[in-house]
A and B are shown apart, each in its own frame.
Chain A
């Protein structure tokens, strides 16, 4: 009996040692950092031709500790109507995020905030804020539910002025509606540019 136990236990021990066959550390594969927007370009194209005005901001390391750099002041001409197109780009993975937003326009919405008096149309200071959803803004695009998206907008400048121009992109899955505002959902983009109208 004793012998049996001894053999059995030894066998168990040896087999468990051999079971501890251990693999080495696997090298993690490079993931596509698809979440990140690194480059934001605002292109203001004047109605009836002329040179476009560009606003640019860059955060090269995405969610890394390196900060966001807003490259320039947006300088618009007085009393001019512009079409604004927003382009979002992930330079790490070299892919367009604005295309993704367009494909999922029923979950996304751009909101704009600006210093009052810079524009004659829209008037006011934009539609950022819990109660400001219905405030004046000229969206040129809309989703399948007839709600605006904001990749394309129209702006008519005043005679002169300076201040800030802020763009907020909200991700609002199952939230976006005629009542949803800029405080709903989570923020994909929130950048302010300095702006002049002359």
Chain B
């Protein structure tokens, strides 16, 4: 049945295309300056081999009329900018051209797909410019995305950095990696996505709840990371680059090679990083090294009105976790927290010991696009394989064996049809299916923390937009999803348990975008998103680092608030789906000298799943805190601001601010790990030429992070141990959330950056934590044990050919 529906969906659009042999084809587009993102007036657009050509108007727009051919090569040129040849056919999206000034080493690029990857135009979208991306791309994925307004990070040390959108993370946000939903063990706070930003070219965040196109589950939003599609008709070109950082004595090398023929083009990329122990201002952070290798190959085959893209990527990483952060019982934890210098601090080394993680991720994707008259069909299949091994400090030969060893295989299929205009409505409809197979690899010598499972997910969506008035656009969208999972696990006595789960629900979105006047846009978007509890929310069980955790269905509680192990089902303990209702509103202001974007949101989440303290368990090893998974209703609200002021030709300022407020409204309680308020200011000085160098840029940034006042109560480990000694259950009367230590103090971080180009070389220097400030970040789980990293100077050189 399913296959028949798919086939009908697939066949339909092919019936409605017509031949056109008249010379009445039109192509239009917009040209921007790549460095500034400003429109570039008076650029020349010419059709190669003909006399046809036009000049762009003052807004960078151009229209070429009277074209006879369906396919042609366009030449874009402008004095002082790099010439660009782009192969175009009339069925493709309207091109957006970014012209690179001669003095920068970035190349001019054409973006055809921008309109489709942006999803809803009424949702608030944040992104990095090509230049900002280039500056950050040798860092981790999380460190890159935190430069986008509205995105923060949740860290486990410096090497595990997870993106957080409007206070939500892990399985509450979707990561779309080159068009494919990135599949990984997204449930753990210490599991970062396996993505190396140096293999990509652009990143975007959609802050709406119902990002209908990409899948259910995006309660917080969606992160889109993309590599540019290989360009046709290019000579061999590429880049090699290397950079070195003083903190951690890290070096990174990367290479990229591209070639485009008439119908075929490809891009190959590789990157390698090695980092030793990092340094805090007052001591070494022992066992914080990292080694990373990644590579990708993108190939494109082009026929008239048809493109086939193949994408292969490989990522592998070994990372150390601060030795002092993994403890035995509560007494060990108290000792580690109280030490001025973290216990077991040793001199610098590149060696990575336990605790550590060894991770790999492979992806193969095949993507076909068919361009018809005013319509487009895309079909995509992707296969992903993710392995994760986590090594703890254990006795004897078990030290060589991971305590968590998981293999996740997934396959995704996407079909999207962008239909021609019908009754003034433009939009797209699509279908998506995901299959996942999660297996525990035998040999960990400890009972599995999460069970084995297979799951299927089917979704169908429709998004439509129409112009209510010439300045007002209305968007509506809907989506239906069905989830099935089959679970087999082992309980604490090593007995098997089984379960099958089915969930289905709708999500919907509606939004308005209104151009109030030139340069002023107002957006508002309302939507819902939902996700069922994931398998680890239900079934996680056992000791994980210094806590013992029990999933939603893995415990029973007696009237005295004592816990016992169990395996429950939905009949015994009902677990409703998580359901978010989010309203996001944005205001955008732009003129010659000033631009600003303000986003404000409220997100109400029903059945929000979180872990809360249950009590203390006495074991042979001593006392451990027990955390149980529960559901509640939560409210998140906040605002993001980003603004740019052009003071003069040379000087510009950037201002950014984020604030999130969150509360458990059922229990009138507060959550741990909500990002504190952040205010950032940067001043930049740019000159085109000086002493033989070009594209010179100097910048100074100040970032202030407030103390998190909206944090739960504090119960120190010492207090817990004292209560344990006196045989008092601290949580019998009051089981509200707590934290072992108060939120860290506020802090100010300064950084400095400089960049310049010489011929084909580009140089960059950056100093982070310029004042070598000792500080701790509230959203880093290592804050109990050690300071963040101190001053770091990084130098980078790239050569383009």
Contacts and interface: CB of A to CB of B under 8 A. Distances in A.
Contacts of B622: 187, 189-190
Contacts of B454: 22-25
A152 B590 CA distance: 79
A32 B445 contact: yes
Contacts of A185: 328
Contact of B490 (A30, A59, A61, A184): A30
B538 to A, nearest CB: 14
Contacts of A40: 620
Contact of B620 (A22, A173, A191): A191
B487 interface: yes
Interface of A: 1-2, 4-6, 8-10, 12-13, 16-17, 19-20, 22-38, 40, 57, 59, 61-68, 92, 97, 100-101, 103-104, 107, 130, 171, 173, 175, 183-191
Given A12-B366, A23-B454, A67 B618 contact: yes
Contacts, number: 192
Nearest to A170: B328
B332 A187 contact: yes
Interface string B670-699: 000000000000000000000000000000
13 contacts: A2-B17, A16-B379, A17-B413, A20-B411, A27-B496, A28-B490, A29-B442, A37-B620, A38-B620, A62-B619, A171-B393, A184-B343, A186-B393
Given A8-B306, A59-B619, 19 more contacts: A1-B305, A6-B14, A13-B10, A26-B439, A26-B452, A28-B448, A34-B445, A63-B542, A63-B621, A65-B555, A65-B617, A67-B617, A68-B618, A100-B396, A130-B335, A186-B327, A190-B331, A190-B621, A191-B620
Given A34-B398, A173-B399, A187-B328, A65 B447 contact: no
A93 B36 CA distance: 66
B548 A65 contact: yes
A35 B329 contact: no
Given A23-B454, A30-B490, A16 B366 contact: yes
A185 B329 CA distance: 11
B550 interface: yes
B303 A28 contact: no
B612 to A, nearest CB: 15
Given A8-B368, A190-B621, A64 B492 contact: yes
B379 A12 contact: yes
Nearest to B14: A6
B620 A57 contact: yes
Which one of A30, A35, A37 has the highest number of Cβ atoms from chain B below 10 Å of its Cβ? A35
Given A17-B413, A23-B437, A64-B492, A34 B368 contact: no
Contact of B326 (A107, A175, A186, A189): A186
Contacts of A30: 490, 494
B451 A28 contact: yes
Nearest to B346: A174
Nearest to B626: A65
B445 A35 contact: yes
B452 A27 contact: yes
Given A25-B486, A187-B329, A16 B621 contact: no
Contacts of A101: 395
Contact of B383 (A19, A33, A59, A65): A19
A27 B445 contact: no
